[in-house]
């Protein structure tokens, strides 16, 4: 009976894959970037056509069309993620080891300052409706909300778990 259940599940997955068809995604270009450090999250700024790559202690910035490295944002200790707030022309980087969020200018890639986060900020997103950055802090099990316009911490949200 158990074998029939597994066979049924397997057949359902095959039928679903056949009906769904190809995804439409395909590799159109490949770039070999090199550089120091591993990587974690990637963020694409579609307006400026840049790709931000976290590299452990810095963020590598790459032109999405040519694959050329166009800049680097240093001193982001334990960087995990990058969030873009295009209407403020700012980016935000979660610095996991420092418990901070680095704020940078999207045009110059220069740091504008930092905001204090919880312990080990990791994933980071921008909510355009609230105009806030949310950094999700793994060790302190909370999220830090930052006003994207002023760079001030608006508060934290306990997440538990």
pLDDT at 23: 79
Give the DSSP H/E element, type plus range, for residue 20: helix 2-20
Q: What's the CA gap between 116 and 102, in Å, rounded?
A: 9
Long-range contacts of 110-116 (CB under 8 A, 24+ apart): 111/73, 111/75, 112/151, 113/151, 115/144, 115/146, 115/151, 115/152, 115/153, 116/144, 116/153
Tell me how far the alpha carbon of residue 131 is from its chain's centroid.
Answer: 17
pLDDT at 128: 98
Q: What's the CA gap between 100 and 158, in Å, rounded?
A: 17
pLDDT at 20: 63
Structure tokens of 27?
A: 């590799």
pLDDT at 34: 86
pLDDT at 156: 97
pTM: 0.84
pLDDT of the chain, 161 residues: tens digit per residue? 555 455 455 556 565 656 666 778 899 889 888 887 788 999 999 999 999 999 999 999 999 999 999 999 999 999 999 999 999 999 999 999 999 999 999 999 999 999 999 999 999 999 999 999 999 999 999 999 999 999 999 999 999 87
The domains found in the chain, sorted by start residue, are 35-158 (2.130.10.10)
């Amino acid at each position: 009976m158990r074998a029939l259940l597994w066979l049924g599940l397997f057949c359902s997955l095959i039928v679903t894959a056949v009906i769904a068809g190809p995804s439409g995604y395909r590799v159109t270009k490949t770039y070999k970037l090199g550089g120091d450090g591993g990587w974690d999250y990637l963020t694409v700024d579609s307006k400026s056509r840049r790709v931000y790559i976290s590299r452990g202690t810095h963020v590598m910035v790459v032109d999405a069309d040519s694959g050329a490295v166009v800049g680097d944002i240093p001193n982001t200790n334990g960087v995990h993620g990058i969030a873009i707030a295009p209407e403020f022309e700012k980016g935000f980087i979660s610095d996991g080891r420092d418990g901070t969020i680095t704020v940078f200018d999207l045009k110059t890639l220069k740091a504008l300052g930092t905001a204090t986060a919880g312990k080990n900020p990791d994933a980071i997103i921008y909510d355009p409706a609230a105009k806030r950055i949310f950094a999700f802090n793994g060790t302190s099990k909370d999220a830090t909300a930052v006003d994207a316009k002023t760079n001030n911490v608006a508060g934290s949200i306990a997440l538990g778990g």
